[in-house]
Structure 1
Amino acid sequence: MADIVISEFMDEAAIAASLSDFDVLYDPGLVDRPDDLAAAVKGARALIVRNRTQVRGALLEAADALVCVGRLGVGLDNIDVAACEARGVKVFPATGANDIGVAEYVVGTAMMLMRSAYTATDEVIAGAWPRNRLMGREVFGKTMGLVGFGAIARETGKRAAALGMTIVAYDPFVADDDPAWSQPWGRVAKRALDALLAEADVVSLHVPLTEKTRNLIDAAALAGMKPDAIVVNAARGGVVDEPALAAALKAGRLGGAALDVFETEPLPAEKGAAFAGCPNLVLTPHIAGVSVESNVRVSAVTAETVRRALTEG
């Protein structure tokens, strides 16, 4: 019977460094074997997960000795936090550890979509020379609109500002007089959501999934954007209305989009079919915050937090 069960991939050096005094079951494939996972967590004092393991319902009931849950990331959509609190189970997200990875993904992908020159490899190999069609845009002088202005959004704004972009943001939870609007790298203009969508050349989403943010970017919101705007969602699936986004791209009412997160993950083939034929679209498998470096940071933070919770109480 393991003290600690780890059901998704994690940096093994962090396990060795912080959790060597415990009986650890590290099996990244457990997330895809729910019966085995339910059996494994019986008697375990800690469970370490990423975003796919659903820490709720029957799994929580099976984890009869659970003291804490370590989340290799920051989103808690897959964890029934209220049920954990009711049982006195502490939940530890790895706050801040993957901020840089997500920020670099957003800015790098936005630059690629704005420039639109990186899809011609096969054509060039075949002897074509589509220069006129691939004349894209620079990000310098453009406006980055951040929907949500937490830590990851601020890292994103910092990098976009360094490229000469103007930064505007919408966040009803950050007061008008909050010092966060004056960053070391520049002043960020606060906007209402409709105004931000109308102004921004790149719209990057940085909000959790709640009842208020579900389908926040729907057909009406997309219609209020510039026809050549770029949308990047590396926050949470469900914040963007996926069929509406696909329709806007196919109709030429949007300049491009990148989705790293989806309402259902992995993206089912029948839902993915809606994106077939969409121009200037990037789809990635919830990987924005997972780089070699961020995996080391997230794993180290989580392993150490779990160790303290089990040894110090």
Structure 2
Amino acid sequence: MRSTQPRRHRLYAESATGIRAAEPALVIDSPTLAPLRVLLTDNIMSRFATELNQTDSGTEWTIANTWSEQQILAALPDTDVLVCSSMSSQMAVRAPGLRLVHVTGAGYDKIPLADLAPGTRVSNTFHHGEAIAEHVIMTALMLSRRVIPVDRDMRAGRWRTVANDLTVPFHGTLRGRTLGLLGFGGIGQEVARLASALGMRVRAVRYNPAGAVPGDLTLDWVGGLDDLPELLGSSDVVVVTVPLSEATRGVIDARALRQMRPTGILINVARGPLIDEDALVDALTEKRIAGAALDVWWGAPSGDGAAPAAVARFADFDTVVLTPHYSGHALRTFQLRAADIAANVDNLAHGRPLARVVH
């Protein structure tokens, strides 16, 4: 019979070789009979060990973000919970006793659901909407005020303003402009709140145009996806927040870009393939739209940290803001996500219902 005496369970820090550190990062006492064994492979979440260890169930956490694939595969048969941003089918097959896969963000498209053992649950976490909304407004301001070319002039020693150069255009303001949202989920709603606070009119297209709108928001107009041309033609700033699916892949194509205003700004914080890459390059080259902000890309970065090849196609445009899918990477976002994960691990340990189950 297993002892019911309190046991000390450690949150282990892993070296690059995969050897557990001699001293535990944190130790907690718990009377649990069978502490959950949690394997964490996500780079970002590995920086939140303190927040993750806010459990009361004597959980044994192993931080394995620096492990090789073979080391992870070897550990999975003895793992109860996997905390990750992605996993392979091979990993799923090697984890027949896995009780929970906790994704470290909202998306779970990189989890092979069909390969998981029966009974394995998948949960996710959010908290990124506010940070992404701030990024959207930041880039809209940068583009409407021509910050990139002005910054380049200053770095080159050139002082050019409307006061001393009649060729310099006046910059715009966001107040009184119209912001159009392609997608009106959590991120779209946070963008709408900030845009409204700046005095912008907000319009949206969504899957269900008759769906409820939060009580603190007033939309100028709401349409379905078939009404996208109306949104594009009436908006000064178009923000793409809709999920990627076969129905939405390439939804912003050459035709859609021609429907935008020549002074329009396109901001994508959803997924790269929602926009036709070639069509966007053409629209920017021919100045058929005023600018774009791209936080998501076509293709993935290489393992050595090099940017996706698509980035080079936009690098010379001073009308494009380029960022490496970091609009949601706020400290607060991941602190709250870590707290969610820790609470859900406790739920599992105590037999309580899991939160945010997606599978």
What letter corresponds to residue 27 of structure 1 in structure 2?
A: A
Choose between structure 1 and 2: higher helix proportion.
Answer: 1
Report the counterpart of residue 70 of structure 1 in structure 2: 102
Report the counterpart of residue 11 of structure 2 in structure 1: none
Contact 1:117-1:134 at 8 Å conserved across structures:
no
Counterpart CA distance in 2 for 1:262 and 1:142 is 27
User: What CA deviation, in whole Å up to 9, does each residue of 1:132-169 have, x standing for no partner?
Assistant: 44632111111111111112111110110110110000
Q: Which has the higher contact order (CA 8 A, sep 6+)?
A: 1
Contact 2:93-2:115 at 8 Å conserved across structures:
no
What RMSD, in angstroms, separates the aligned Cα atoms of the two structures?
A: 2.3
Name the SS of the counterpart of 1:4 in structure 2.
strand
Residues 113 and 66 (structure 1), Cα distance of their counterparts in 2 relative to 1, 3 Å cut: same
Counterpart CA distance in 2 for 1:37 and 1:246 is 41
What letter corresponds to residue 336 of structure 2 in structure 1?
A: R
Counterpart CA distance in 2 for 1:199 and 1:175 is 17
User: Shift in Å at residue 27 of structure 1?
Assistant: 3.1
Q: Percent identity?
A: 30
Counterpart CA distance in 2 for 1:185 and 1:179 is 10
Give the stretch that moved more between structures: 281-290 or 258-267.
Answer: 258-267
Q: How does 1:69-148 map to 2 (within 5 A)?
A: 69-84=101-116, 87-95=118-126, 97-132=127-162, 133=168, 135-148=170-183
Q: Given the alignment of the two structures, is residue 7 of structure 1 paired with residue 7 of structure 2, yes or no?
A: no
Counterpart CA distance in 2 for 1:40 and 1:93 is 22
User: Shift in Å at residue 19 of structure 1?
Assistant: 7.3
User: Shift in Å at residue 175 of structure 1?
Assistant: 4.2
Structure 1 segments, 4+ long, off by >6 Å, are none
Provide structure 1 residue ranges, at least 5 long, that are not aligned to the other structure: none
What letter corresponds to residue 179 of structure 1 in structure 2?
A: A
Corresponding residue to 2:202 among 164, 167, 173: 167
Provide structure 2 residue ranges, at least 5 long, that are not aligned to the other structure: 1-19, 21-35, 163-167, 353-359
Name the SS of the counterpart of 1:42 in structure 2.
helix
User: What CA deviation, in whole Å up to 9, does each residue of 1:155-210 have, x standing for no partner?
Assistant: 110110110110000012x342x331x64242341131111011111111111111
Residues 37 and 163 (structure 1), Cα distance of their counterparts in 2 relative to 1, 3 Å cut: same
Q: How many residue pairs were aligned?
A: 303
Name the SS of the counterpart of 2:274 in structure 1.
coil
User: Shift in Å at residue 236 of structure 1?
Assistant: 2.2
Corresponding residue to 2:188 among 153, 178, 181: 153
Report the counterpart of residue 281 of structure 1 in structure 2: 320
Contact 1:98-1:289 at 8 Å conserved across structures:
yes
Corresponding residue to 2:89 among 30, 43, 57: 57
Contact 2:301-2:308 at 8 Å conserved across structures:
no
Contact 2:195-2:202 at 8 Å conserved across structures:
yes
User: What CA deviation, in whole Å up to 9, does each residue of 1:13-50 have, x standing for no partner?
Assistant: 211212772221213345xx433333333321111123
TM-score (norm: length of structure 2): 0.77
Name the SS of the counterpart of 2:123 in structure 1.
strand
Contact 1:5-1:44 at 8 Å conserved across structures:
yes
User: What CA deviation, in whole Å up to 9, does each residue of 1:215-254 have, x standing for no partner?
Assistant: 1112221121112211111112321222322222122112
What letter corresponds to residue 62 of structure 2 in structure 1?
A: L
User: Shift in Å at residue 118 of structure 1?
Assistant: 4.4
Counterpart CA distance in 2 for 1:167 and 1:185 is 9
User: What CA deviation, in whole Å up to 9, does each residue of 1:101-136 have, x standing for no partner?
Assistant: 111111121111111124433532443112244632
Corresponding residue to 1:236 among 271, 274, 285: 271
Contact 2:57-2:349 at 8 Å conserved across structures:
no
* The structure with more radius of gyration: 2
Name the SS of the counterpart of 1:87 in structure 2.
coil
What letter corresponds to residue 37 of structure 2 in structure 1?
A: D
Report the counterpart of residue 179 of structure 1 in structure 2: 212
Counterpart CA distance in 2 for 1:293 and 1:237 is 25
